[in-house]
């Protein structure tokens, strides 16, 4: 099967995070199973020629034009990408669009509808009800049409399905399909050497929504019990790094904090293996790939109750799930610290790490996700071949 994945952006430091990672992971596994899967996106931040391959996956990258800088990722586009997408659709069996309200994935999805190319849409938690007037206008101009007429709309969680339905009013049930994120199984990391200092890891985009400040604010309470602990702050800065580092200075903990910047995929897994606890205090996190990657090597996690993985982590005992709320910084930090300290207790972290790896192997491998997605693809293509009109094609 010839599959074209379309995602908004790829950068050298992987600043766009989850959607691009998912597109690459799916494409790698699909290609290993014999499909011709490719990724199309804007490229930004590269010097010299744009890469034609990323992690063994053929990619079609086009220079990002920042036509509406105030809207950041939503305001970048490329006329050449849109022309190429239209041309490549003619040879594709199916287009898989990782949709957001932007000038890349939304126009490509509309092109797929206009050309009659089978279309699968995945929103990654990026399309939800909003009061933002520009976003609401975008919904009227195209997002609702795409969601209602796509052959399948993938959601990570029940909360995301409800959000998408609130925007699209609604996606017909027959076209709404749950598909979780998946990662490759990894060897279990070696146990920490007795007496060696513990390591606590934050690895994600350093932005307000991920709440790196809660990670840093938890440090004094943990250091009071483990004065030799190392805290690693990793990931590309998308706006919150200066204030996060300033908070570390105010709290006097900079000597225990290592800011290592963005990491490539192998470096991510290495950092996960070195960590005793992975922390993501993000509020309203759909279903974090970075959390799954940490668990895949046997590192227990600290996440919030609004993370899409919270029920699974709590049920499996794969870490700690905390209540965290915007505007309650001191309480949030104390909850993060308490969860870290629990997982640094002898035996507790080891048991949670084993449970974390088992959880990934049983429910969140990329192979299982790809098999489920393949069934959806086949249903879509078979339905089109029979001339069956998708229920989602009614209405605009």
Do the domain assignments include residue 190?
A: no
Which residues are CB-contacts of 380 (< 8 A; sequence separation ≥ 6)? 94, 118, 120, 151, 152, 390
Judge whether 169 lies within some domain: yes
Q: How far out from the chain centre does Cα 304 lie?
A: 16
Give CA–CA dist 165/151, Å, rounded: 15
pLDDT, tens digit only, all 396 positions of the chain = 999 999 999 999 887 878 999 999 999 999 999 999 999 999 999 999 999 999 999 999 999 999 999 998 999 999 999 999 999 999 999 999 999 999 999 999 999 999 999 999 999 989 999 999 999 999 999 999 999 999 999 999 888 999 999 998 788 888 999 999 999 989 889 888 888 999 999 999 999 989 999 999 999 999 999 999 999 999 999 889 999 999 999 999 999 999 999 998 899 999 999 999 999 999 888 888 999 999 999 999 999 999 989 999 999 999 999 998 776 778 999 999 999 999 999 899 999 999 999 999 999 999 999 999 999 999 999 988 877 544 443 333
**How many structural domains does the chain have?**
2
* CATH code of the domain containing 7: 3.40.50.2000
The residue behind tokens 């079609």 is 60
Give yes or no: residues 118 and 207 share one domain: no
**Residue 187 covered by a domain:** no
Sequence-separated (6 or more) residues with CB below 8 Å from residue 151: 118, 119, 120, 175, 380, 383, 384, 390, 392
Same domain assignment for residues 34 and 84? yes
Q: Is residue 193 a part of any domain in this protein?
A: no
Q: What is the DSSP letter of 309?
A: T
Instruction: Answer whether residue 230 is part of any domain.
Output: yes
Q: Is residue 189 part of a domain?
A: no
**Residue numbers of the domain that contains 327:** 199-363
Among 64, 42, 139, 156, smallest CA distance to 100 is for 139
Q: Are residue 36 and residue 169 in the same domain, yes or no? A: yes
Per-residue CA distances from 193 to 55, 196, 299, 356 (Å): 32, 6, 15, 20
Are 302 and 277 a contacting pair, CB within 8 Å? yes
Examine the domain organization and report whether 167 and 248 are in the same domain. no
Q: Is residue 118 part of a domain?
A: yes
Cα–Cα distance list, 304 to 271, 281, 357 (Å): 21, 6, 19
């Amino acid at each position: 099967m010839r599959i074209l994945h379309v995602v908004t952006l790829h950068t050298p430091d992987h600043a766009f995070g989850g959607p691009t990672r998912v597109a690459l992971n799916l494409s790698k596994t699909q290609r290993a199973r014999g499909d011709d899967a490719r990724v199309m996106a804007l490229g930004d931040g590269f010097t010299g020629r744009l890469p034609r391959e990323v992690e063994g996956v053929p990619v079609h990258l086009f220079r990002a034009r920042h036509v509406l800088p105030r809207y950041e990722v939503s305001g970048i586009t490329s006329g050449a990408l849109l022309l190429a997408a239209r041309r490549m659709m003619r040879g594709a069996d199916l287009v898989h669009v990782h949709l957001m309200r932007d000038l890349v994935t939304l126009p490509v999805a509309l092109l797929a509808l206009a050309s009659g190319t089978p279309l699968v849409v995945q929103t990654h938690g990026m399309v939800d009800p909003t009061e933002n007037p520009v976003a609401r206008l975008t919904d009227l101009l195209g997002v609702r049409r795409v969601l209602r007429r796509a052959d399948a709309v993938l959601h990570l969680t029940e909360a995301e399905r409800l959000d998408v339905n609130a925007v699209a009013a609604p996606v017909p049930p027959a076209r709404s399909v749950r598909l979780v994120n998946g990662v490759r199984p990894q060897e279990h990391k070696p146990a920490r050497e007795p007496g060696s200092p513990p390591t606590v890891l934050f690895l994600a985009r350093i932005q307000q929504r991920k709440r790196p400040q809660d990670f840093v604010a938890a440090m004094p309470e943990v250091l009071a019990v483990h004065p030799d602990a190392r805290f690693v702050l990793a990931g590309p800065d998308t706006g919150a790094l200066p204030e996060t580092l300033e908070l570390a200075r105010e709290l006097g903990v900079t000597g225990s904090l290592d800011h290592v910047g963005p990491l490539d995929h192998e470096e991510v897994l290495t950092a996960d293996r070195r960590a005793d606890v992975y922390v993501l205090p993000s509020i309203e996190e759909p279903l974090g790939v970075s959390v799954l990657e940490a668990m895949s090597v046997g590192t227990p996690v600290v996440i919030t109750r609004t993370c899409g993985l919270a029920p699974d982590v709590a049920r499996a005992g794969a870490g700690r799930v905390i209540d965290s709320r915007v505007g309650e910084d001191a309480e949030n930090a104390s909850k993060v610290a308490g969860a870290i300290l629990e997982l640094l207790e002898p035996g507790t972290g080891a048991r949670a790490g084993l449970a974390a790896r088992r959880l990934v192997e049983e429910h969140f491998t990329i192979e299982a996700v790809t098999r489920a997605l393949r069934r959806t693809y086949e249903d879509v293509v078979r339905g089109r071949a029979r001339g069956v009109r998708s229920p989602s094609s009614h209405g605009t």
